[in-house]
Chain A
Amino acid sequence: MIKYLAVIVSVVGLGMIFLPIVTGFHEAEQLSPLAAQYVEGSINDLETQNVVTSVIVTYRGLDTLGEVTVLFLATVGVGLLLKDGVKNRLTMPFSEMLETTSSVLVAMIMVLGIYIFTHGHLTPGGGFQGGVVIASGFLLLLLTSSETKINHLTLHLVESLSGAAYVGIGVAGIVLTIGFLSPEVLPLGEFGRLLSAGAIPVIYSLIGLKVGSELTSILVTMGGE
């Protein structure tokens, strides 16, 4: 009982910490100078339609490299913890209709995922979202087909090669003395085209492949052999 009371007191105390944020909250009328700089720079310097993408890939590119590293470490952690595999996987015969429909759907989901990460600089979307969509396609495959075998070696190859290429593009910026992870290692192109914004679509596609293969390998590890 005392424990429960202590929990309620601490949760209410936590709520009180957030009270000043609510009472002192007023809607801003203008963008902050930094955000305005990002919006203008994205249009004028980087030829990128999607400002969020240019913030993620270029202005805060080092943060994104760190986030991808965290994701990689999480994948390694899951693989290490579940290295014996999960036993007692539920196996029952699937109906032919389910297997056929899912194999048609999986192809469409993969195409949608690839579309989302290659068009990350033009439309809402990008590498993280596209990668998650691709991983959900593999999840459908794992859930609906009993004979699905996903090759670990292929997953590791895609994952490590795309990660290495991502860092390689960053280092190319240093070699060409433009700056680490600068998109200007490739020609910037014309505003609004698929092949524009320099290296941004390339980097985001690599992130998409990396996130997709990492989440798929988490799913494969958790699903058991």
Chain B
Amino acid sequence: MISISMLSLILGIALLVTGIFAMLTRKNLIKIVIGFSIADTGTHIIIVSLGYLKGRTAPIIDSAVSAANAVQKVVDPIPSALVLTAIVIGLAVTAVMLSFVVEMYKKNKSLSIDDYQELKW
């Protein structure tokens, strides 16, 4: 029986690899940004699944978890905290990348990566 954290770990790695594959093979700049976004989501799922502990609940003290036995009842709070901020930063970085795409389209009227040869060697 495969555990849920193992399953989400494999799913996260699959998403990360899919995103990088998309970034390497797609020609359309917007699709490259989408590939980055998929890879970003993959890393978030990997980090969260590494912090999961079987049969435990979210690290919030309420009716399900009393203050006395919290250490035995909750999952690791650190990966959740890291991923929480990483999601917002990922959103902002995607916005910057899309602004670059808009500027590049304004300059060369093309979304294909093949039309941008300046950095090619």
Contact = CB atoms under 8 A, between A and B. Distances in A.
B110 to A, nearest CB: 17
Contact of A191 (B67, B77, B84): B67
B95 A74 contact: yes
Interface in A11-70: 11, 14-15, 18, 21-22, 25, 27-32, 34-36, 38-40, 42-43, 49-52, 55-56, 60, 63-64, 67, 70
B13 A34 contact: no
A38 B78 contact: yes
Contact of B21 (A7, A27, A222): A7
Given A31-B71, A43-B67, A71-B89, A55 B77 contact: yes
Contact of B9 (A15, A25, A74, A86): A25
B89 A39 contact: no
B74 A63 contact: no
Interface string A196-224: 00000000000000010011001001100
Contacts of B78: 34-35, 38, 55
B117 to A, nearest CB: 15
B92 A55 contact: no
B54 A67 contact: no
A15 B21 CA distance: 11
Given A35-B76, A51-B60, A86 B81 contact: no
Interface string B22-61: 0011000000000000000000001000001110001111
A128 interface: yes
Contact of A49 (B20, B53, B61): B61
Between B21, B46, B71, B95, the greatest number of chain A beta carbons within 10 A of the residue's beta carbon is seen for B95
Interface string B102-118: 11000000000000000
B24 A51 contact: no
Contact of B13 (A15, A132, A214): A15
Between A39, A77, A214, the greatest number of chain B beta carbons within 10 A of the residue's beta carbon is seen for A39
B103 A82 contact: yes
A100 interface: no
Interface of B: 3, 5-6, 9-10, 13, 16-17, 20-21, 24-25, 46, 52-54, 58-62, 67, 70-71, 74, 76-78, 80-81, 84-85, 87-89, 91-93, 95-96, 98-100, 102-103
The 5 closest A-B pairs by CB, nearest first: A74-B92, A51-B59, A81-B99, A55-B81, A51-B77
Interface of A: 4, 7, 10-11, 14-15, 18, 21-22, 25, 27-32, 34-36, 38-40, 42-43, 49-52, 55-56, 60, 63-64, 67, 70-71, 74-75, 77-78, 81-82, 86, 123-124, 126, 128-129, 131-132, 191-192, 211, 214-215, 218, 221-222
Given A30-B53, A36-B71, 11 more contacts: A11-B20, A21-B13, A31-B53, A31-B74, A40-B71, A43-B61, A71-B89, A77-B99, A78-B96, A81-B96, A82-B99
